[in-house]
Amino acid sequence: MRLTDYTDYTLRVLMFCARHPERSVTIAELADSHAVSKNHLMKIVNDLARQGLLQTTRGRGGGLRLLKPAADIRIGDVVRQTETDFRLVECFDAKHNACTLSTHCQLKRVFKTALQSFLAELDKVTLADITRRGTPR
C-alpha cells in the first residue's frame, strides 16, 4: 500500500511553510531542501493555491505563505485532495471492473470502511501538530 510522491511532497511544502510563518518561502528554497525539481513543486504549489491553502506572491520578496493557520489544516483533508485514486481493489474502479464476484461480494464495502477509518485518523491531526518542534509524542 502506497501513497503517491505527490502527496508526500505536498505535505512537505505545507510543513516547510508552517515552520516559517514569519516570512515567505521560495520554490527555489523548497527545491534545494527536498532535492526535487522546481517544475514538480510548481504543480504542487499551484494546486495548493487553488485550494486556498497557499498565497503565492510574485517578484522580489515574493514567495509562498500559508493562507490559513496551520492548526486549521487537517492532514486528512490534504490527503483527500492529493490522492485522487483510492483504488484498493479492482471493483473500486467501476469503469474497468472485470471481477466476476462483484455482485455478491462484500469486499468493496469492507475496504471502504477501512479507508474511512484511515482518513478519520488523519483528520485528528493538523499541520500544526506535525510541525511542532521538540514535542515528540
**Range 80-85 contact pairs with CB under 8 angstroms and sequence separation of 24 or more:** 80/119, 81/47, 81/51, 82/4, 82/6, 82/7, 82/10, 82/47, 83/3, 83/4, 83/7
Residue 71 CB, nearest approach to a copy of itself (Å): 14
Interface stretch with a copy of itself, choices 37-45, 46-54, 56-64, 79-87 (CB under 8 A):
79-87
CB 41 within 8 A of CB 27: yes
Supply φ then ψ for residue 62, to 5 degrees: -80, -175
Residue 18 CB, nearest approach to a copy of itself (Å): 11
Give the nearer residue to a copy of itself in terms of CB position, either 47 or 83. 83
**Does position 60 bind a copy of itself by CB under 8 A?**
no
**Does position 120 bind a copy of itself by CB under 8 A?**
yes
Quick one: how far is CA 49 from the chain centroid?
A: 13
Give the nearer residue to a copy of itself in terms of CB position, either 58 or 96. 96
**Does position 94 bind a copy of itself by CB under 8 A?**
no
